[in-house]
Chains A and B, each alone.
Chain A
């Protein structure tokens, strides 16, 4: 396009020189300048910037990282460039996840792993990031398209899968473990997992994976009424896992599971989602680059602009086995942790005089650390009940031995046997008598021809189908028929067909009209209107037939 425009400009110039009439010059110049303007616009078309090898702190317009590197000069971050070594997994690229991904991309994160199975829809346009022209693309593809334009330095990996399915979960786990990006890293291949999903099942799946891999993660969520949200840091073993206490139970008294998911009737606002994504990424940066304090839980109530924070200890009775295992490891590692903390404290400040704060202690007051688990003797004394009273519920400490199932599980049943039984309920002959489908002949008489045809339609290998006076007795029940005329109508019909031939049910009533009106009876109006297509043209079952019957009676 640019070349064409240049050609056009050259043509115009040569034309300008050979222009005979100078009065046209002005108009001609106008056209020329317009074309040049268009050419400028075309030249300004987005050009993808090339990758940057090192982050520079140089303050020039062309340096994408100058404002970020300035964090070092301001004394906030010690070494910002470390961010290029970090990998972040974002599960759920929706209202929060996509914005978080964009923020991290603009911050120059090393590697982003994106997981989602959904597609971009126009209904998503009330949130940030995705554009209407991306409707129909998978969210992961659309995100990669935009993010790689914004910052080509970021390594993007996208996974279009559902992590709650068995296959999806395995891929999810192995992608978190994969260390090809930074082989000498300890632990897993990612530094942090950000859960930005919109449903309980997916959160539980992320929780399961991170507990098993001992992977620190952030949970985030926005309420279905779009006016509050939260983020929560989950360090397996150290803080409560998602199964220990679902956060919204604490936050609002609503059980998390009663919340509806997006797509059914949940509301959403770009503002709330943007705020939550901002809080999430801010804490992510603090966690990765080691500045400030990382919030263990941060709520956001937009109606009152209230930001509650709190800390949650893991639940020793957590239903998630991996969480309990991590808790055990955390307690075991306590001495090492204490030593490290002490060493850090000593390194930071010269030893502070640890003399008594007050010289006299008239009331013998002593301070106990309430973070430490109390000694057994202490708990006993505080829990001691007056005689005659008992606790209704068992205490947490007595939980240790898991409840054994009351009834011994009958392991004699074979899985295949059970599966066969389930199928067998619906195929009695085959299962109970070992009859092959090819050897079965279905026989249906009268009204029974209905179910016979239904079964026949389900068994492709059937040998034969016999329909004996199909549907006739049904008619007889409704309209008494004299044996005389019945004899004419009844006719055993056999339809032996070769294997695998699909059996087409024939409209039984079409074969014969059960009753012909005798000549004396007039055909009633109903004959024409109703029964034309069912019984031919001769009779109907309305008043006309009554006439016929009376006529027959008279005759006999």
Chain B
């Protein structure tokens, strides 16, 4: 965890850790795990809101809790950039981390695998592996997606790869 800023570190310590090691094929144990996931997500979202740092919405799009969809956003130069966020819970979860996808950015950055899967390999996967099964979706967002957005969005905006939605509409209108 060296090299992480103290802010992220203190946030991380406040996200409840998970205990059940179960994947989507483990029946009742998965339901228990899913409950833990929800609890840590609720705690994390509440923490973000109370710190005025709300930056994502995520919810399970199927009753089994294996596919998750939502939004995430990043504010840069006082403008808010919002993206669709989606991921599947892999069958080998929690041994392997979920692969977070931002489909709207597919093909716009090198730090991404095909289909808009953000590159978590260096900065996040080792942490996940060391903390299996205590890390969950909330941790993946906090340590995986948040630093990625902070690193990538400014570059993408400055290079003109992504435009703020207001600019995009005016340019298409004119």
Q: Which listed residue, B64, B90, B110, B126, touches A164 by the CB 8 Å rule? A: B90
Looking at A258-266, A344-352, A480-488, A535-543, the stretch in contact with chain B turns out to be A258-266
Q: Closest chain A residue to B95 by CB distance? A: A204
A207–B91 CA distance with the chains assembled, in angstroms: 11
A413–B64 CA distance with the chains assembled, in angstroms: 16
Q: Which listed residue, A165, A418, A422, touches B45 by the CB 8 Å rule? A: A422
> What's the nearest-Cβ distance from chain B to residue A451, in Å?
13
A200–B126 CA distance with the chains assembled, in angstroms: 12
- Whether the pair A257, B113 counts as a contact (CB closer than 8 A) is no
Q: Closest chain A residue to B46 by CB distance? A: A425
A430 within 8 A of partner (CB): no
**Chain A residues close to B by CB (< 8 Å):** 118, 163-166, 169, 200-201, 204-205, 207-208, 243, 255, 257-261, 263-265, 319-320, 405, 407, 409, 411, 413, 415, 418-419, 421-423, 425-426
- Whether the pair B32, A418 counts as a contact (CB closer than 8 A) is no
Q: Which residues of A contact B45 (CB under 8 A)?
A: 422, 425
Q: Which residues of B contact A163 (CB under 8 A)?
A: 91
> What's the nearest-Cβ distance from chain A to residue B106, in Å?
11
- Whether the pair B114, A263 counts as a contact (CB closer than 8 A) is yes
A421–B45 CA distance with the chains assembled, in angstroms: 11
Listed by A's residue number, 17 A-B pairs whose Cβ atoms lie within 8 Å are A164-B99, A166-B88, A166-B89, A200-B125, A205-B92, A257-B129, A259-B121, A260-B119, A261-B113, A261-B121, A264-B110, A264-B111, A319-B95, A411-B32, A415-B35, A422-B59, A425-B45
- Whether the pair B19, A409 counts as a contact (CB closer than 8 A) is yes
> What's the nearest-Cβ distance from chain A to residue B100, in Å?
13
The verdict on A264 contacting B121 (CB below 8 Å), with A118-B114, A426-B57 known, is yes
- Whether the pair B35, A166 counts as a contact (CB closer than 8 A) is no
> What's the nearest-Cβ distance from chain A to residue B54, in Å?
9
Q: Which residues of B contact A418 (CB under 8 A)?
A: 35, 38-39, 42
A321–B39 CA distance with the chains assembled, in angstroms: 26
The verdict on A204 contacting B119 (CB below 8 Å), with A166-B66, A425-B42 known, is no
Q: Closest chain A residue to B88 by CB distance? A: A165
A426–B32 CA distance with the chains assembled, in angstroms: 24
- Whether the pair B91, A165 counts as a contact (CB closer than 8 A) is yes
Identify the interface centre among A165, A207, A257, A265: most chain B CB within 10 Å of its CB: A257
Q: Which residues of B contact A413 (CB under 8 A)?
A: 35, 39
The verdict on A165 contacting B59 (CB below 8 Å), with A422-B41, A425-B42, A425-B49 known, is no
B24 within 8 A of partner (CB): yes
B24-58 interface bits toward A, Cβ cutoff 8 Å, 1 = contact, 0 = none = 11000001101110110110011001000000010
A483–B32 CA distance with the chains assembled, in angstroms: 62
The verdict on A409 contacting B32 (CB below 8 Å), with A201-B90, A259-B121 known, is yes
The verdict on A419 contacting B91 (CB below 8 Å), with A264-B112, A409-B32 known, is no
A515–B90 CA distance with the chains assembled, in angstroms: 61
Q: Which residues of A contact B112 (CB under 8 A)?
A: 264
Q: Which residues of A contact B132 (CB under 8 A)?
A: 319
B122 within 8 A of partner (CB): yes
B69 within 8 A of partner (CB): no
A243–B23 CA distance with the chains assembled, in angstroms: 15
